[in-house]
Structure 1
């Protein structure tokens, strides 16, 4: 089901807006290192803490993403496209048992990419969606706003944008509305 769908411009725009292009690996925002950095701890103390999972490009993680890694914008685009095609699009198609439209697929790929395939595949969002309750599924997006046990304003914004795209909005309008709702 949904075999002909690939991430489209709205899904890519939401992912790119919220992930932002980073050409040097950085610690995950929910990691102990990032939390210590935000708290103003000295760099020498922060370096002792884990930054895993390290992230690069358009929010790409994996065993090859390590502290100090740098890539080009072209490599970031290639990594993003490859992971969408090989990992996240198939994961959404496997988890979702009802037909969805392009924007719904885009929103689902975005949240799977950001929050993780394992967690989302077994989530209430997907269970509700698979009953055909699209409004109920949309209402589940805001629940995915935590990283490392901490509510993140950036995730509030992203989930609102994804929810609005899922409900049929275009990415540009959805992002603007999300930023207005969570200034």
Structure 2
């Protein structure tokens, strides 16, 4: 079953990230714009809010496709929304470079993905904080909100 982000999930992602209509360097030093779009972005670029939303939607559709390729267990809508929000920030993972939802830096399958695909959702939910613990306060708050959505279906107001 192919899953897509809900309207609540889209609004959560949009409202929990800053939107910058001028290009900026993101936390890993790449040029980005809007809600974090980073393909073919350089210094001095500006966009409209509508364009930023379109770029966010394009990024989300790409994330949906990649997640649907690795998720083997159907998720509740709130679980999918939470996982997609996390995936939007951290990605799939790259062997030898960085851990993500799909694979660890070591090249092994991520524990979170294994737990989700084994339908061990409570244990999987504990991994949200793994990607927030060594970051600034706002990132930890985002991970805590994603965990709450994943485990309880409760979206922030």
User: What range is the shorter-chain TM-score in?
Assistant: 0.7 to 0.9
Alignment of 1:103-142 (within 5 A): 103-118=78-93, 119-122=100-103, 123-142=110-129
Query: What are structure 2's unaligned runs of at least 5 residues?
Result: 94-99, 104-109
Relative to its length, the structure with more helix (as a share) is: 1
Higher relative contact order, structure no. (Cα contacts within 8 Å, ≥ 6 residues apart) = 1
Residue deviations 1:8-45, cap 9 Å, x none? 1232122112222210111113x4xxxxxxxxxxxxxx
From 65, 74, 77, the counterpart of 2:53 = 77
State the alpha-carbon separation in 2 of the partners of residues 140 and 59 from structure 1. 23
TM, length-normalised to structure 2: 0.85
1:60 aligns with 2:37: yes
The structure 1 segments of at least 4 consecutive aligned residues displaced by more than 3 Å after TM superposition are: none
Query: What are structure 1's unaligned runs of at least 5 residues?
Result: 32-51, 174-183
**Quick check: which has more Rg, 1 or 2?**
1
What is the aligned-residue RMSD (CA, Å)? 1.6
Residue deviations 1:125-164, cap 9 Å, x none? 1111111100011011000116xxx522121011111111
TM, length-normalised to structure 1: 0.73
